[in-house]
Amino acid sequence: MPAFQKVCPSCMGSVHVRKSKCPCGHSFSTKPKLILKSENAMKSIERRRNSMAECQARKRTNETVEKSESRKRANVQCHARKRANETVEESESRKRANVECHARKRANETVEESEGRKRANVECHARKRTNETVEESESRKRANVECHARKRTNETVEKSESRKRANVECHARKRANETVEESESRKRANVECHARKRTNETVEESESRKRANVECHARKRANETVEESESRKRANVECHARKRANETLHQFQKRKQANLECQTHKRNQQTPLQSVIQSFIVKTKQGPDCVCKSCHRLVYKQSVVNLSVCKYVKASPELLSKVFDPEFKYSSHGGQEWVCKTCHAALTCGKMPTQAIANAVADPGGIVRFRTKPPFSAQYLPNLQPLLNSQTGTMELHRETISRLLRDQLNQNWGGPSIVYS
């Protein structure tokens, strides 16, 4: 085919390159493109492009600020006019060509050029965002969210992990160089952003977010070391202390009311009898082998917490050294140090535990004291009473009757000795 001929995609006929319409009725684009297959022609095009780029670079080095701004505005308007009239296919082709062009440039650039380009992009984005309206800002954010969503749906697991690692490293670098004011401003912006998102989310989205947070925290805590765990706990205690020190009376009352409602909701939940019995059997399956460092009692695993002295910020160092005797060493469950929840609650408030060995009221006899009865508290009895009433047909049952029923079923399922509740 001659070089001045082009092919019509509709009838596959030959048409002159200057003609914009084929005899069959097909209309070509306003700017016909020549298909040059010669290597010499491609090399000449590359030379022409390079010479034009060098010419433009020389012009831009000598132009003033006003001329540069005027040129940029003219380019933006020209590109806007072109993009307003282009089809979907032309838009996709242009975007692909831009991506390939940027990839070629970045592959050959040095570290200094890369840093300069990134700084220029940041400054350019900052200038654009300072002059944009609220509607433009919202539209840009929505477009960014949609673009990221499209990219993440098509990325592989390796790309996703690499992206997350890169984001973490990028955030770490930024936070290492930011000032106190920038850090506070970032935290406030994050809090406001999360508040806006949560006000518009549905119940399903809220539940899904909470489950994802719980799973994420569980994964992090499963892989953290003892030092990281202690550091996290200290940071949480300090964060809660700062929040409570700066909260108003209304916030204090609101927090107390929320805590009270949460505790009331948990206590009022009706638990079936078989579930309570099965839970008791599971929790007491392994005998009391956790030694409290404060009262030296043998208690069950569910009644103790890991000993962490940094939690007791209200307790004085003298009180802690008196309660936790360093000479008392006992190989407890899992080789860890434990403190029972009774002593833990007292120390959290900065008080001397009532059952502590260091307390003068406590019984000083014996290094390890055993519990005299199983830790099956009577708090389950009010929850079990309506179920037992419906099963037996009796309107009221005394504690002795309920204890006898529980004792019989526990002895039958557990197979242990007779248990007598007082």
- pLDDT tens for the 422 residues of the chain, in order: 555 677 887 787 887 777 777 888 787 765 544 444 556 777 777 888 888 888 888 888 888 888 888 888 888 888 888 888 888 888 888 888 888 888 888 888 888 988 898 898 888 888 888 888 889 888 988 999 888 888 888 888 888 889 889 998 988 888 888 888 988 899 899 989 888 888 888 888 888 998 899 888 888 888 888 888 888 888 998 888 888 888 899 989 999 999 999 888 877 776 677 777 777 777 777 667 788 888 888 888 888 888 888 889 889 989 998 888 887 776 566 678 889 999 999 999 999 998 888 886 544 444 334 333 333 333 444 444 454 444 333 333 444 444 455 555 545 544 444 333 33
The whole-angstrom separation of Cα 375 and Cα 279 is 12
* Cβ contact 4:13 at 8 Å: no
Of the candidates 273, 246, 275, the residue with the CA atom closest to the CA atom of residue 392: 273
Tokens of 55: 């010419």
Residue length, the chain?
422
The whole-angstrom separation of Cα 120 and Cα 205 is 38
* Cβ contact 326:358 at 8 Å: no
| Pairing of the two strands 338-340 and 369-370 | unpaired
pLDDT at 347: 92
In this structure, what are the phi and psi dihedrals at residue 226, rounded to the nearest 5 degrees? Answer: -65, -40
User: What is residue 7's three-state secondary structure?
Assistant: strand
Q: Per-domain residue ranges for the chain? A: 1-58, 161-223, 226-269, 289-370, 380-414
* Cβ contact 70:59 at 8 Å: no
The whole-angstrom separation of Cα 370 and Cα 289 is 10
Tokens of 212: 């994802």
The whole-angstrom separation of Cα 22 and Cα 19 is 7
- What would the DSSP string read from start to end of 221-273? HHH--HHHHHHHHHHHHHHHHHHHHH--HHHHHHHHHHHHHHHHHHHH----H
State how far the alpha carbon of 195 is from the alpha carbons of 181, 188, 262, in Å: 21, 11, 21
- What would the DSSP string read from start to end of 25-59? SPBPPSS-------HHHHHHHHHHHHHHHHHHHHH
pTM for the model = 0.35
Q: Tokens 């059952």 appear where?
A: 355
User: How far is C-alpha 390 from the chain's CA centre?
Assistant: 46
Which residues, at least 6 apart from 45, have a Cβ–Cβ distance to it below 8 Å? Answer: 36
Torsion, Cα 319 323 326 331, to 10 degrees, reads -150
Rounded to the nearest 10 degrees, what angle do helices 380-392 and 399-414 cross at?
90
Helical residues (DSSP H) of 63-202, grouped into ranges:
65-85, 88-108, 111-131, 134-154, 157-177, 180-200
User: What is residue 297's three-state secondary structure?
Assistant: strand
State how far the alpha carbon of 337 is from the alpha carbons of 286, 296, 368, 400, in Å: 18, 11, 14, 38
The whole-angstrom separation of Cα 386 and Cα 275 is 15
* Cβ contact 362:294 at 8 Å: no
